[in-house]
Amino acid sequence: MASQEGRDVDLEDTENSKIFYAVADVFQKAQSSYAGHRKHVAVLKKIQSKAVAQGYEDAFNFWFNKLVTKILPLKKNEVAGDRIVRIVAAFIASLDRDIEEATKENSETVIHQQQVFAKFVDLFMRHILRGVESKERNVRYRVLQLLAVIMDNIGEIDEELYNLLMWSLNKRIYDKEPNVRMQAVFCLTKFQEEDIPSVETEHPVIDDATHKLMTIIQNDSSAEVRRAALLNLVNNPLTRSHILERARDTNQVNRRLVYTRILKSMGKEVFEKIDSRILDQLIKWGLEDREESVRKACLRLISYDWLNMLNGDLIELIEKLNVAKSTIADKAMESLFNTRTDIISKIKFTPEMWKELTVEIAFLLRCFYKHCISNNLTEVLEENFPEASKLSSILNYYIKKRFHAENLSNLEKSHLDFIVEQILIISKGYDFSDEIGRRSMLTIIRNMLGITSLTEPSIKSGLDVLKILSINERDFVSMSIEIINDIRDDDLEKQEQEQISKKKAERSLDDNNEDDDDDEEDDIIEQFRSSVDNFIEGKTSTTDDTSTRALSNERDLLPETMINCLTRSSLLLELVVKPLDQNVLITSLIDTLITPAVRNTDPKIRELGVRNLGLCCLLDVQLATENLYILGMCVSKGNASLKSIALKSIIDIFSIHGNVVVDGEGKVDSISLHKIFYKVLKNNTLPECQVIAAEGLCKLYLADIFNDDDLFETLILSYFSPSNSSNEGLIQAFAFCIPVYSYSHVLHQQRITKIASDVLLRLYMLWVDFQANEETDENIETMLKPNVILQQLISWTDPRKLIGENEKAINDNYQLNFLLDIFQQFPKFDKKNIKKMILTNINAFYVSSDNDMHKLREIKEHLEDIIENEIIDTMTLNSLEKFKNTIIDCLEEAKEKSENQTKDEIESSDGEYSMILESSNIGNISDVEKDVNVEAAQFSDSENDFEDSDDDTSRKRNRSKLEESIANNTSEKLSVNEDYDSEDTNEPKNDAKDINEPEDGTKDVIMEDSVSSNVIENSKNVSFILPDNDYSSSESSMSVDDESYKEE
pLDDT score of 530: 57
pLDDT score of 906: 66
Decide: helix, strand or coil at residue 754: helix
For residues 214 and 320, membership in a common domain is answered with no
Residue type, 835: K
pLDDT score of 905: 64
pLDDT score of 231: 94
For residues 32 and 104, membership in a common domain is answered with yes
**Residue ranges making up the domain that contains 690:** 675-738
**Higher-confidence position of 969 and 288:** 288
* pLDDT single digits (tens) 51-93: 888 888 888 999 999 999 999 999 988 899 999 999 999 999 8
Stretch 360-367: mean pLDDT, rounded?
95
Among 846, 878, 910, give the residue marking a domain's end.
878
According to DSSP, the residues that pair with 683 across neighbouring strands are: none
**Higher-confidence position of 721 and 985:** 721
pLDDT band at residue 334 under the 50/70/90 scheme: very high
Stretch 1002-1023: mean pLDDT, rounded?
38
Stretch 909-913: mean pLDDT, rounded?
56
Among 293, 313, 346, give the residue marking a domain's end.
346
First to last CA, the chain: 120
**Higher-confidence position of 715 and 930:** 715
pLDDT band at residue 527 under the 50/70/90 scheme: low
pLDDT band at residue 105 under the 50/70/90 scheme: confident
Q: Which of 317, 310, 319, 301 has the alpha carbon at shortest distance from 264?
A: 301
pLDDT score of 478: 94
In a domain, 69, yes or no: yes
In a domain, 36, yes or no: yes
Stretch 465-490: mean pLDDT, rounded?
93
Cα-to-chain-centroid distance, residue 915: 59
In a domain, 419, yes or no: no
User: Are 816 and 791 within 8 A, CB to CB?
Assistant: no
For residues 228 and 274, membership in a common domain is answered with no
In a domain, 490, yes or no: no
pLDDT score of 318: 94
pLDDT score of 33: 82
For residues 730 and 757, membership in a common domain is answered with no
* 520-525 contacts, C-beta under 8 A, 24 or more apart: none
pLDDT score of 1021: 38
pLDDT score of 526: 55
Residue type, 741: Y
What phi, psi does 922 have (nearest 5°)?
-75, -20
**Higher-confidence position of 1034 and 451:** 451
Any idea which of 367-376, 444-453, 541-550, 593-602 has the lowest mean pLDDT? 541-550
**Higher-confidence position of 976 and 183:** 183
Among 878, 900, 933, give the residue marking a domain's end.
878
**Higher-confidence position of 766 and 16:** 766
For residues 212 and 147, membership in a common domain is answered with yes
* pLDDT single digits (tens) 118-168: 899 889 999 999 999 999 999 999 999 999 988 887 777 888 888 899 999
For residues 939 and 1034, membership in a common domain is answered with yes
pLDDT score of 908: 65
To the nearest whole number, what is the mean pLDDT of the chain?
Answer: 81
Decide: helix, strand or coil at residue 1001: coil
For residues 870 and 973, membership in a common domain is answered with no
**Higher-confidence position of 924 and 102:** 102
> What are the DSSP calls for 619-683, one per residue?
T-HHHHHHHHHHHHHHHHHS-HHHHHHHHHHHHHHHHHHGGGGBSSTTSB-HHHHHHHHHHHHH-
> Can you give the CATH number for the domain in which 168 is found?
1.25.10
Q: CA-CA distance, 700 to 618, in Å (whole number)?
A: 16
User: Are 620 and 581 within 8 A, CB to CB?
Assistant: yes
For residues 299 and 220, membership in a common domain is answered with no
Stretch 385-408: mean pLDDT, rounded?
92
In a domain, 590, yes or no: no
In a domain, 420, yes or no: no
For residues 756 and 813, membership in a common domain is answered with yes
In a domain, 595, yes or no: no
In a domain, 80, yes or no: yes
* pLDDT single digits (tens) 630-640: 999 999 999 99
For residues 34 and 133, membership in a common domain is answered with yes
C-alpha neighbours within 13 Å on the C-beta side of residue 247: 25
| Domain count for the chain | 5
pLDDT score of 777: 55
pLDDT score of 937: 43
pLDDT band at residue 1025 under the 50/70/90 scheme: very low
> What are the DSSP calls for 904-936, one per residue?
HHHHHHHHHHHHHHHHHTTT-HHHHHHHHHHHH
pLDDT score of 962: 47
**Higher-confidence position of 398 and 547:** 398
For residues 811 and 758, membership in a common domain is answered with yes
Any idea which of 35-49, 339-353, 772-786, 1013-1027 has the lowest mean pLDDT? 1013-1027
Q: Judge whether residue 876 has pLDDT over 60.
A: yes
* Cβ burial 199-217 (10 Å sphere, 16+ → b, else e): eeeeeeebeebbebbbebb
pLDDT score of 956: 47
Q: CA-CA distance, 80 to 27, in Å (whole number)?
A: 10
* pLDDT single digits (tens) 182-228: 999 999 998 888 766 555 555 667 888 999 999 999 999 999 999 99
For residues 59 and 180, membership in a common domain is answered with yes
Q: Judge whether residue 674 has pLDDT over 80.
A: yes
pLDDT score of 517: 52
Stretch 823-851: mean pLDDT, rounded?
89
pLDDT score of 407: 85
pLDDT score of 812: 75
CA quadruple 672, 674, 677, 682: dihedral positive or negative?
Answer: negative
pLDDT score of 917: 52
